[in-house]
Amino acid sequence: MSNSSARPTPKPGVLDIEAYVPGKSRAPDGVKLHKLSSNETPFGASPSVQDALRSVAGHLELYPDGQAGALKSAIAKAHGLEPQRILCGNGSDELLGLLAQAFLAPGDEAIHTEHGFLVYDIYIRAAGATPVVARERDERADVDAILGRVSARTKIVFLANPNNPTGTYLPEGEIRRLHASLPSHVVLVLDAAYAEYVRREDYISGLELVEEFDNVVMTRTFSKIHGLAALRIGWMVGPEAIVDALDRIRGPFNLNAMAIAGGAAAIADREHVEKSVRFNDEWLEKLTRGLTALGLRVTPSVGNFLLVHFADEAGRTAADADAFLTTRGFILRRVSGYGFPNALRLTIGSAEANEGVLVALGEFLRA
C-alpha cells in the first residue's frame, strides 16, 4: 500500500516562483468601467481582422497551419525579413519562455533589469537557472549595471526596450554598447512589445542588430498597438540557429487558426497603426502635462502608458488613489511587484477615459 502522506511535488525552485498577477479589470456595479490597467489600445483591432476571423470560423474542425506560414509571410513583408528567421508564439510570453527553456539550465544565470517585465524572473526560475537583477538609474536600464552583473554563468540578457512599467528606453548607441561588451555566447533578448509607439530618431527595436549578429533576438506582440490581446499572438526574429532550436521545442500547433489569420490581416493595415500612433502621441503629451499640473511626478514615457508617482503621505498614496479611482470606474495598474509601491501605471485610453481620469485624480488630490 502506498504511503498516504506522500504526494507528487514539483522540482526544486518551482514553488519559489511568485505567480504573475494581472491588473484589475472590474469596476463596482453601476459604475461605467474605464479599464486603463493593461496597456490595451482604445481603437481595438483593424476592421480587416473581423473579416479574416469570419473566413476561419466556418472551418473550426481543421487543425491550423503548424508553421503559421501566412502570418510569417505577412510579418516578413511588413518588416523586410526572411520568413525562416521568424517564429510565432502564443503571445510573446511563450517565446520568452522558449528562449529560457532552450538556453538555460541549472547553474546558469540570466540577467534582467530592476523594473523589468515580471515574466523574465518566472521563466528563468522555471528553467532551473538563477535570475540576476541589474539596478536601473533614474527608472531606466543602465548598461554599465547590466555588464557589471555578467559572469561566466550568464547565458541570456533580457531587456525590454521600451520598458514596462516605466516607459523609458535605451537609445541605439547604448544598445550597441551593451551588445558589443557581451560574450558572443550570451543571447541578448530585446523585448520590443511597445516598439510601434516609439517615434524617437535614436531608437531601434532590435531588427537592425538581428540582421548583423548571431546572438541577438527581438520579440514583438500583437497585443498592444494591433489590438489583438484576446488572440494571444507574438513573434520573434533571430538567427536561424536560434529559431531552429526553439522550433524544436514549441508546441506543434501553438497558434490557433484565428490568431494566424487575424495577425496577418492586422499587420497589413498600416493606416490603422498610424492612427493609433497619432492618437497616442497626442494624449501622451496631454496626460503628462495634466498630471504634472496636478503636482504628480510622471516618468517620461515613449509607450502607450505613464508611470504616475504619488506622495508618501496619508491619504495621498498610490493605494489610496487606486481605491478612489476604482469607485469612479477608472481601473489603473498597481505596480508594487515591479518595485514601485507608491505609483500607478496609467494606460492611455479613449479621450473620454483620459479626460475623466484627470478630473478624478484632481478630486482625489483635493479631498
State residue 5's pLDDT score: 67
Q: Residues 6 or more apart from 90 whose CB is under 8 A from it?
A: 232, 233, 234, 251, 254, 255, 259
State residue 3's pLDDT score: 58
Same domain? For 214 and 314 the reply is no
d(C-alpha 325, C-alpha 69), whole Å: 45
Q: Residues 6 or more apart from 56 whose CB is under 8 A from it?
A: 257, 258, 261
pTM over 0.85? The answer is yes
Same domain? For 55 and 34 the reply is no
Same domain? For 262 and 276 the reply is no
Q: Residues 6 or more apart from 322 whose CB is under 8 A from it?
A: 332, 334, 344
d(C-alpha 38, C-alpha 95), whole Å: 20
C-alpha cell at 63: 487543425
d(C-alpha 268, C-alpha 286), whole Å: 29
DSSP letter at 229?
Answer: G
| Helices and strands, number each (H, E), in the chain | 12, 13
Same domain? For 115 and 226 the reply is yes
Does residue 6 belong to any structural domain of this protein? no
Domain carrying residue 257: 47-268
Same domain? For 215 and 323 the reply is no
| Closest-CA residue to 205 (of 219, 221, 215) | 219
Residue-wise pLDDT tens for the chain (367 aa)?
Answer: 455 568 888 888 888 888 777 777 677 777 889 999 999 999 999 999 999 999 999 999 999 999 999 999 999 999 999 999 999 999 999 999 999 999 999 999 999 999 999 999 999 999 999 999 999 999 999 999 999 999 999 999 999 999 999 999 999 999 999 999 999 999 999 999 999 999 999 999 999 999 999 999 999 999 999 999 999 999 999 999 999 999 999 999 999 999 999 999 999 999 999 999 999 999 999 999 999 999 999 999 999 999 999 988 777 999 999 999 999 999 999 999 999 999 999 999 999 999 999 999 999 999 7
Q: Residues 6 or more apart from 152 whose CB is under 8 A from it?
A: none
How are beta strands 234-237 and 86-89 bridged, if at all?
antiparallel
| Closest-CA residue to 270 (of 79, 129, 97, 61) | 79
Same domain? For 36 and 181 the reply is no
Same domain? For 71 and 212 the reply is yes
Q: Quick: pLDDT tens for 38-92.
A: 999 999 999 999 999 999 999 999 999 999 999 999 999 999 999 999 999 999 9
Which H helix or E strand runs over 243?
Answer: helix 240-249
d(C-alpha 177, C-alpha 62), whole Å: 48
Q: Based on the structure, what is the number of domains in the chain?
A: 2
End-to-end alpha-carbon separation of the chain, Å? 67
Q: Quick: pLDDT tens for 311-365.
A: 887 779 999 999 999 999 999 999 999 999 999 999 999 999 999 999 999 999 9
Does residue 53 belong to any structural domain of this protein? yes
Does residue 198 belong to any structural domain of this protein? yes
State residue 287's pLDDT score: 98
Same domain? For 77 and 28 the reply is no
Does residue 235 belong to any structural domain of this protein? yes
Same domain? For 283 and 300 the reply is yes
- Give how far Cα 235 sits from Cα of 71, 251, 280, Å: 9, 14, 23
Q: Residues 6 or more apart from 58 whose CB is under 8 A from it?
A: none
The CATH number given to whatever domain includes residue 69 is: 3.40.640.10
| Closest-CA residue to 168 (of 178, 158, 177, 159) | 159
DSSP letter at 23?
Answer: P
